[in-house]
Chains A and B, each alone.
Chain A
Amino acid sequence: MSSNPITKKNEKAGAEKVVRPDIQHVIAVGSGKGGVGKSSITALLAAGASRAGFKVGILDADITGPSIPKMFGLKMSPERKGFSPMESSSGIKIMSLNLLLASEDDPVIWRGPLIAGAVRQFWSDVDWGELDYLFIDLPPGTADAPLTVMQTIPLDGLVVVSSPQDLVVMVVKKALKMAGTMDVPVLGLVENMSYLICPHCGVETEFFGSPKGEEVSKLTGLPLLAALPLDQKLAEYCDRGLVERYESELFDKLLSILQGDKLI
């Protein structure tokens, strides 16, 4: 059945990609390193796209450490049927393993094959409906979940998040090399926690060392979407489930890059 339009052979990875014609654009957000703000960036991109009038979803591929539901103030609701995503207050459709747990702090002690299976199902079996943009929040590392996302889902591309620490830059390069190996285009870099604005004196400090976004961008030839500060307000909004209220230009920048590259 190689002529089946629903599946398309991915030659490089040797795995079949599952195509969903009802979802226009799929963008993954990853980094390799944990705690640099992948989930916040995913949330800000989704909120920006939604504000611009697009129909938007978030697939939380961080199966064992999901952050997305909490940022949008969502919890499991028992009356939800089958594999339908939950909707945030601004109408963003969200699927996350934490929305399937009775208690949000229950651990999901799963080995790789189960994790990959969940990611695959989140893509192919969830009732996403028509979407203009689906953002995928990847977990740290280069193991099962990112690998399955890159092998199974036809991505428009990857947004890579880093912080100015040398250490992080090293791990980010791992993620970039992985994308290269898997034939996934990298759309751009976001340098997060680039500097700190002290709420007391208002002075900007380069807390994690001097920003390296420009340098990494030059080195890799990738556009720098933004250099974002370590912002107490964003952390607070994420904790209170109000991330949709945080203003950011991130999606508009991504969109102009996509349009500039004539990807849209």
Chain B
Amino acid sequence: MSSDKSSQEEEKTGLEKILRPGIKHVIAVGSGKGGVGKSSVTSLLAVGASREGFKVGILDADITGPSIPKMFGIKKALGTMGFDPTETSQGIRIMSLNLLLSNEEDPVIWRGPLIGGAVKQFWADVEWGELDYLFIDLPPGTADAPLTVMQTIPLDGLVIVSSPQDLAVMVVKKALKMAKAMNISVLGLVENMSYLICPHCQAKVEVFGSSKGEEVAELTGVPLIAILPLDKKLAECCDNGTVEDYESELFKKLLSVQQVKMNAGGMNE
């Protein structure tokens, strides 16, 4: 059945990708390193896309450490049938393992195969409906969840998040090499926590060292989407579940980076 429209042979990994024609674009957000702001960047991209009038979803692939529901202030929705996503106040559809737990603090002590299975189900079995954009929040590392996402889901590409620490840059290079090995195109780089503004004296403080976004972009040939500060207000919004109120140009920047790439190379459709 190689002509079957709903499955497509993936040459490089030898695994079948599952197609969902109702979902137009799928963009994963990852980093390799934890705590650099993958989930915040995922949220800001989704909120930006939703503000532009697109139908948007978020698939939280961080099965054992999910952050997305808390950032949007949503909890387990009682009465949802089966695998329905929960909708935020702006209408973003979200599926996360934390929306299936009766208590958000319960740990999910699972080994790899279960994690891979959950990720696959979140993609294939959730009733997403029609979506223009689905953003996938990847967990740190290069193990089961990112591997399953890259093998099973036909991605438009990956957005990589880093911080200026040399250490984070090293781990980002791991993620880039992984994407290459899995034949996934990297859409761009977001340098997060690049600096902060001291609330007392307004000085710009580079807590994690001087910015390396430009350098890494040049070195790897990956376009730099944005350099973001460590923002107290964003941390507050994420804690209060009001990330949708935070203003950001990130999604527009992602689109314009793609536009530049298309004009230059014409490799994407």
Contact = CB atoms under 8 A, between A and B. Distances in A.
Interface of A: 32-36, 62-65, 67, 70-71, 104-113, 115-116, 139-144, 147, 165-167, 170-171, 173-175, 177-178, 181-182, 196, 198-201, 203, 205, 207-209, 230, 232, 235-236, 238-239
A32 to B, nearest CB: 6
A58 B79 CA distance: 48
A116 B205 contact: no
Contacts of A209: 235-236, 239
Given A147-B111, A209-B239, A65 B142 contact: yes
B15 interface: no
Interface of B: 32-36, 62-65, 67, 70-71, 104-113, 115-116, 139-144, 147, 163, 165-167, 170-171, 173-175, 177-178, 181-182, 196, 198-201, 203, 205-209, 230, 232, 235-236, 238-239
Contacts of A175: 107
A105 B174 contact: yes
A36 B67 CA distance: 14
B165 A235 contact: yes
Contacts of B64: 32, 141-143, 174
A261 B116 CA distance: 41
A205 B198 CA distance: 8
Interface of B is mostly: loop
23 contacts: A33-B34, A34-B35, A64-B141, A64-B142, A64-B174, A65-B32, A65-B34, A65-B140, A65-B171, A105-B173, A106-B174, A112-B111, A112-B144, A115-B112, A140-B34, A170-B70, A174-B106, A174-B107, A177-B107, A203-B200, A207-B196, A207-B230, A235-B208
A115 B62 CA distance: 17
A170 B207 contact: no
Contact of B109 (A110, A142, A171, A232): A142
Contacts of B196: 196, 207
Given A65-B32, A143-B63, 8 more contacts: A64-B142, A110-B143, A111-B113, A112-B144, A141-B62, A143-B110, A143-B115, A207-B232
Contact of B144 (A143, A199, A235): A143
A71 B32 CA distance: 17
A28 to B, nearest CB: 15
A225 B33 CA distance: 25
A239 B165 contact: yes
A142 B107 contact: yes
B82 to A, nearest CB: 25
Contacts of B181: 107, 109
